[in-house]
Amino acid sequence: MSGKIMICDLKRKTERYHTEILRAFTRVTESGWFVLGPEVSRFEKSFSEYIGVNNCCTVANGTDAIELALRAAGIQDGDQVGTVANACMYTTTALMAIGAEPVFLDVGLGTKVITVSEIERAIAKKVRAVVVTHLYGQAIREVEIMSSLCRQAGVLLIEDCAQAHGAMIGGRRVGSFGDLACFSFYPTKNLGALGDGGAVVTNNPKLAEKVFRLRQYGWLAKYNVVSGDGRNSRLDELQAAVLTEFLPFLNGWNLRRRQIAQRYAKEIFAPGIILPEVDGEDYVSHLFVVRAKNRDFFRAHLHACGVSTEVHYPVPDYRQPVFGTRFSDILLDNSELLANEVVTLPCYPEMSDGEVEQVVEAVNLWQG
Ligand SMILES: *Cc1c(COP(=O)(O)O)cnc(C)c1O
């Protein structure tokens, strides 16, 4: 075996798409317009068309997208909001910024995403909204059931699609099921910029209008502040132009990601390694996450074979040090188990077939 395989290698992407990137940068520098200009509008239009929604409002990053979506939904200080605990604090950070109270919900062991019964539990606890996360590229297959349960109960459903750009359920893309949906364009995401970026999408024009105001100081129009919880959270023109160049490649990249994932699923047979389900168009393989009982030894073994790994994510939100003993009575069985067992293998579109083979061989040398 030869060479070190990284968990992600963005330099390959910038090399391969050098022409597109240069074209984007030239367009913007020659225009002299750098924040909230024609490139942002153009990307918002093409991204909303791609997702199949009426409105897209870009913002500075994915965490802001969640925060502004929650604020647009009317979530305030002290309100309870349901969220999973296995998605690395993104939603919880947004909730903390607002002063809202997270109600932590468990996930399915196989899917690693939220379950219908946990949505029902949140509704019974009288949450005002829930944020559901399509994790690792796996769309939540029951999202439509969840959305109708929430609608009946007067609870807003917000999708976090930061790891699932382009994933489809029944021919519809994630991001079109909730009252609002959030995306991140962080460089490593399935659709990533060359810096930070994010977006909120929605079919509800009133909610969209609120997000548009909130991202720019609470302005209704220039220098006319109508919302007290406004922010400065804007996507810049350079990133928007890069995203416009990259968007046409997204489906191909997702196809390649799934192809790699399917090879792993078919060819890995090491003892004690539990593989994810990777078959349908509801999976865009943002991260290929397996479970391993002796995780530290398994990772050390792969490291010795030249294969990098990561853990997404090692600590459930309610156990983060920032909370002290605030959530010490909370214990979600599946979230706990997953935090102890998940391991991410390299899976990104620019990997070569040879590298995929090297990962398979390294994993299959594991004796358990
Ligand atoms: C990356 C990510 C976010 C946050 O996006 P940023 O742009 O880094 O703020 C939110 N949710 C999930 C599931 C993510 O993976």
Per-residue pLDDT tens over the stretch 66-94: 999 999 999 999 999 999 999 999 999 99
Is 80 exceeded by the pLDDT of residue 3?
Answer: no
Q: What is the pLDDT of residue 279?
A: 82
The beta-strand segments (E) located in the chain are 55-59, 80-84, 101-105, 129-133, 156-160, 168-169, 172-173, 180-184, 198-202, 219-221, 224-225, 273-274, 288-292, 342-345
Q: Please report, rounded to a whole number, the percentage of residues in the chain having pLDDT higher than 90.
A: 96
Contacts of residue 32, defined as CB under 8 A and 6 or more positions apart, other chains included, come to none
With a Cβ cut-off of 6 Å, ligand 1 is lined by: 61-63, 87, 90, 133, 160, 162-163, 184, 186, 196, 198
Is 60 exceeded by the pLDDT of residue 1?
Answer: no
What is the CA(131)–ligand 1 centre distance, in A? 13
What is the CA(5)–ligand 1 centre distance, in A? 24
- Structure token pair of residue 358: 């090297």
Give the DSSP letter of residue 105: E
CB 146 within 8 A of CB 178: no
Measured distance CA(100)–CA(93) in Å, rounded: 10
CB 292 within 8 A of CB 273: yes
Q: What is the pLDDT of residues 234-280, one digit of tens each?
A: 999 999 999 999 999 999 999 999 999 999 999 999 999 999 989 89
Q: Which residue's CA is minimally distant from atom 2 of ligand 1?
A: 162
Measured distance CA(91)–CA(102) in Å, rounded: 9
Question: pTM higher than 0.75, yes or no?
Answer: yes
What is the CA(88)–ligand 1 centre distance, in A? 9
Give the DSSP letter of residue 132: E
What is the CA(20)–ligand 1 centre distance, in A? 25
